[in-house]
Chains A and B, each alone.
Chain A
Amino acid sequence: MKRSLIFRRILRLLKPYAGYFVLTVFAAMVSVAAQLLVPFLVGECVDVIVGQNNVNFHALYPLLCGVGGCVVAAVVSQYVVSLANNRIAYCVLADVRRDTFEKLGRLPLKYIDDRPYGDISAVIVADSEQFADGLLLGFTQLFTGVCTILGVLVIMFVLRWEIALIVFFLTPLSLLIARFISKRTYTTFKRQAEVRAEQTAFIDEMVENLKVVKAFTHEEENEATFAEQNERLRRASLRAVFFSSTVNPSTRFVNSVVYSSVALSGALIVIATGGAFSVGALTSFLSYATQYTKPFNEITEVIAEFQNALACAGRIFALLDEKEQPTDAAFPGLGRAEGEVKAEHVRFAYDPARPLFENLNLTAEAGKHIAIVGPTGCGKTTLINLLMRFYDVDGGRILVDGKDVRAITRKSLRKNYGMVLQDTWLKEATVRENLCMGAENCTEEEMIAAAKAAHAHGFIMRLPNGYDTVVGGTGTLSEGQRQLLCIARVMLCRPPMLILDEATSSIDTRTELLVQDAFSKLMEGRTCFIIAHRLSTIKNADRILVMGEGKILEEGTHAELLKRGGAYAKLYHAQFEE
């Protein structure tokens, strides 16, 4: 994205806070002016403190009051700047997070499937933070920095233009030095990052599998590898850390050169002008000389952060600009479906270069059970993706109750499906919230009845807080228990159509048998798509689809297909018969 475009987008984000923005800019100017006036007034004070019995107290008091006034103005305005900034930065940050998060719900699943989760959540969490920090807080620093530089320049030129010129030309030296060093340090930092990445990968791998390491008593070999990497990292870090830390002393040295030049020229001018350029003015000059160089250093730092923040903003806007799934607000809802599902001439590919479905046709009459079998990669999961409209077909159409699914709202379509997948995702929330996910208005009795039917009630009651135990993430529950919860979850919402993708793969066979009853009851009269590795489920299906390479190879009942002696029979013998 172009820089100018990014800036325009940023301004649009800032629009709701325009008032605060104006306030910051104004307060920052007041604060800079007040802060700069202090040394000037102190210089004036020094001028009336000449020597023994030669102090003009009448002139001194108002000057000191002036200093006091400036201090109060500076303090108040500084705090106002911070508060206003605080508000802008954190509110914009919250806005960006909200927008990106809401965007997530509108993106096609393809976007999420195509990238590591870490990459996307980094945009929502980390990039937005760096953007707010770097750009907005950076902006005030930059703005006050520039204001200070300009203000000091003006005052110095007013005080004595000759010395001002010296300062003006000498100071950029420190910038040059800073740039020179940072260019050098860049390569050392890159080297450090490479070595660190290598070591982190090794740590990840070994710590993740620490139990295996210990089982094979591989500790010593690991330690040798680690020690070697660690030493390389130490050397690389030393270079990076040292070189980067030379910037400050170097610029400080340039500043001291500037300082002594001011002292030299100032003192000589005081003598030459016979006091017309006063000692007090020299005092102010010296303190301006130090104040003048400081913002330069800050600006160098800020600019680096700025670049980074712009890059973050670029990624944020790129996410926000991602093409959304087409809106379906204008379409009618499906209502409660009968459950007849048809796929006609469906064409689909994740990657246009590798077509998956070229001409897929299937019909599931309402209430029928369709089992789908076939090797990994044959398109079983893809079929589910299309039925649920996680993905849309590239060609052909899918009909539910004779209606093209693209002409009804996604929500109403999905409400008609219940889904138990192999991937047993649970929300980090209580068991209750997880169970009632699809049926918010269910009663306590209904929930417990569903949990009992799924044989989950027993272990739920053994959890520390029963139905109010927080589950999700990893740990606490075994894979089998999680699957039982997913089954109970579907039992609660009782939709007209079911999709079961290896729904009992993690449950031991005895429990499965116990759950089976409830399952059969649930499936009764509902259209079901079943992917399973247990034969019983497949055997009892009304129709079995044997898939391979995106095509339906065979179709029929268990007995028909066995008799035919084709792909299904082969599969059956390989898998299930000894």
Chain B
Amino acid sequence: MKHLFSCLKRYKKEGLLAPLFKLLEACMELVVPLVVAHIVNVGVAGADRMYIVYGCLLLVAFGAAGLAFALTAQYFAAKAAVGVSAELRARLFTKLQSFSYSQIDEVGTAAMITRMTSDCQQVQNGVNMFLRILLRSPIIVFGAAIMAFTVDVRSALVILGLIPLLAVVVVAVMAAGIPLYKKVQARLDGVNLSARENLQGARVIRAFCREEEEAREFSVRNGALCREQRHAGRISALAGPLTFMLVNIAVIVLVYVGALRVNAGKLGQGDVIALYSYLSLILVELIKLANLIFTVSRAVSSQKRIGKVLDAPSEPSALMERTGGEEHAPAISFEDVSFTYAGGGAPALSDITFSVENGKTLGVLGGTGAGKSTLIDLIPRFYEASSGRVLVGGEDVNGIPAEELRKKVAVVPQHAVLFKGTIRSNLLWGGEATDEELMRAVCLAQASDVVASKGGLDGEVVQEGKNFSGGQRQRLTIARALVGKPEILILDDSASALDYATDAALRRALKTLDCTVVVVSQRVSAVRHADTILLLDEGRVAAMGTHEELLKNSPLYGEIYASQTRAEGEV
């Protein structure tokens, strides 16, 4: 709850004024039965017509005042609720952006998006309802009870006895209902999964003639959902009739007690009417309250989920004191590095040691799951080595502030992503640059024709860059990385969609740069020209050396080479 409260702090005024005005509104409503009682007791009994007219005018005046108070309260409540959700969203966004790669893996994209959208919305609804109604209803319920006491203590005791009973009913039904609705939600997820799966897998399902089995499976899930829904419905449907019954039993008792009191001369006829009105008022409010507790309980669980994200630690800019670099140190070196993913059993990398001199090219080769991507993710410290040291320019990466390190090391990811906007706005992700500098990077990345075909740097990029082909996207992401003039450029299988000629031209262009290049691939052809090739196998360095050396010394390298040459003719 602490995040919710700290967000509410900025709306302290609104958060206090909204319930306050609700209280005033409730008071306006609460005096109505009193006025009516007086109209009956004094006006009707004494046949005083003017008294009645004034009384009724007073009722309208109270109504008008109630309206004014209510509108004010609604405004403040809306302002506070909307403000809180905006603040929560902003904090969440900042927090998510500060997550480390491990945390991103752990929380998952879908969950992050849900936190920011529907959970924030739930909290907004909850706060709004809480400020507006959850305070109003108890005020009215207790207010009505108190007013009843001013009319007659003995009769009011009946009402007082009713309130805890009602509370018990409402709470019991809620307590029984909420876990049932959770179950319903889980079943619904199952039905949802079935539906989505059958759309995505339509081809495979048809190819294997599984339509009927799938339909049977769906109908089992569907039936289970239906049963859970009906079960939950049966329980929650009890709330209405039960409250109605309790209140009306109270009415019967009240009328009887009232009758005794009137007979004894302790009470007027109008007072009985007033007491009856208060009871009705309580009934109406309690029914509203029961419905709203549901909204609020949902908001509370959303709030908890949001809180969990906000409470997670941010990725620290640096993990230790700077060690400082060395003059002629290698651009990258790994010293006995091992790495295990959080929640992963076996280490993804073990005992990796190597170094790359400034301006040289390192090729990293290995099969699926050999640990290639993991290895390069350690260089810009996307993940932190579990043991051993990763050095950039002779300095331990754990001591280099993340922003500085990541400006120095540019990564072109395996999955080429562009963002909605223009080609220019995408390239500028790499860093501040003039148009000439941008075009130079584009040229180096062999993407001039791509930019030209889209009408220059202002060419539109739609969401996910869907208006570019895979190869075009790859070249643009390479250009984006080059814009920042990085000291180290990492290409993670980023030229896979390029044809041979373009690939070769790109390699030549990169040679002209004063920049250390790491090329990752599972094909020998992509790394054979590298100054050093690091061959990974199941997270370990299997061999290291130039193409020729490896051919001579490493049977595994020979095997891979042979498999690819046999598959593709002369490489």
Contact = CB atoms under 8 A, between A and B. Distances in A.
B259 A105 contact: no
A227 interface: yes
A104 B82 contact: no
B203 A425 contact: yes
Interface stretch (A12-20, A209-217, A361-369, A546-554): A209-217
A533 to B, nearest CB: 9
B196 A211 contact: no
B78 A242 contact: yes
A416 to B, nearest CB: 11
A105 B208 CA distance: 13
A482 to B, nearest CB: 11
A210 B225 CA distance: 35
A354 interface: no
A246 B198 contact: no
Given A45-B259, A241-B128, A260-B60, A390 B203 contact: yes
B368 A260 contact: no
A190 interface: no
Contact of A256 (B62, B198, B206, B568): B62
Given A53-B265, A101-B218, A263-B39, A512 B563 contact: yes
Interface in B247-289: 248-249, 251-252, 255-256, 258-260, 262-265, 268-270, 272-273, 276-277, 280
A26 interface: no
Contact of A207 (B52, B109, B205, B255): B109
Interface string A81-99: 0110011011101100110
B70 A214 contact: no
Interface residues of A, number: 141
A86 B53 contact: no
Contact of B70 (A52, A249, A509): A249
| Listed residue (B206, B277, B366) with the most chain A CB atoms within 10 angstroms of its CB | B206
A323 interface: no
Interface residues on B, range: 35 or more
A277 B91 CA distance: 64
A231 interface: yes
A250 B226 CA distance: 39
Interface in A21-42: 35, 38, 42
Contacts of B70: 248-249, 252
Interface stretch (B110-118, B145-153, B436-444, B510-518): B110-118
Interface in B440-493: 463-464, 480, 484
A136 B124 CA distance: 29
Contacts of A183: none
B237 to A, nearest CB: 3
A508 B63 contact: no
Contacts of B424: none
B187 to A, nearest CB: 11
Contacts of B223: 94
B177 interface: no
B368 A507 contact: yes
A444 interface: no
Interface string A123-158: 011000000000000000000000000000000000
A201 B462 CA distance: 12
A203 B244 contact: no
B549 interface: no
Contacts of A76: 241
Interface in A248-270: 248-250, 252-253, 256-257, 259-261, 263-264, 267-268, 270
A105 B199 contact: no
B280 A287 contact: yes
Contacts of B210: 437
B419 A53 contact: no
A104 B215 CA distance: 9
A173 interface: no
Contact of B263 (A55, A205, A425, A509): A55
A125 B265 CA distance: 64
B82 A105 contact: no
Contacts of A210: 96-97, 99, 104, 109, 112
Given A75-B245, A79-B237, 15 more contacts: A71-B244, A90-B226, A101-B218, A105-B212, A121-B195, A121-B199, A200-B117, A216-B480, A253-B66, A260-B56, A267-B40, A279-B44, A509-B563, A513-B563, A577-B569
27 contacts: A64-B255, A67-B248, A67-B251, A67-B252, A70-B248, A78-B240, A90-B230, A98-B218, A205-B464, A207-B112, A209-B417, A210-B99, A216-B406, A223-B94, A227-B90, A237-B82, A256-B62, A260-B63, A267-B43, A267-B56, A279-B40, A410-B206, A425-B200, A425-B203, A472-B197, A493-B208, A511-B368
Closest 7 CB pairs of A and B: A256-B63, A52-B265, A82-B237, A249-B70, A508-B367, A260-B59, A264-B56
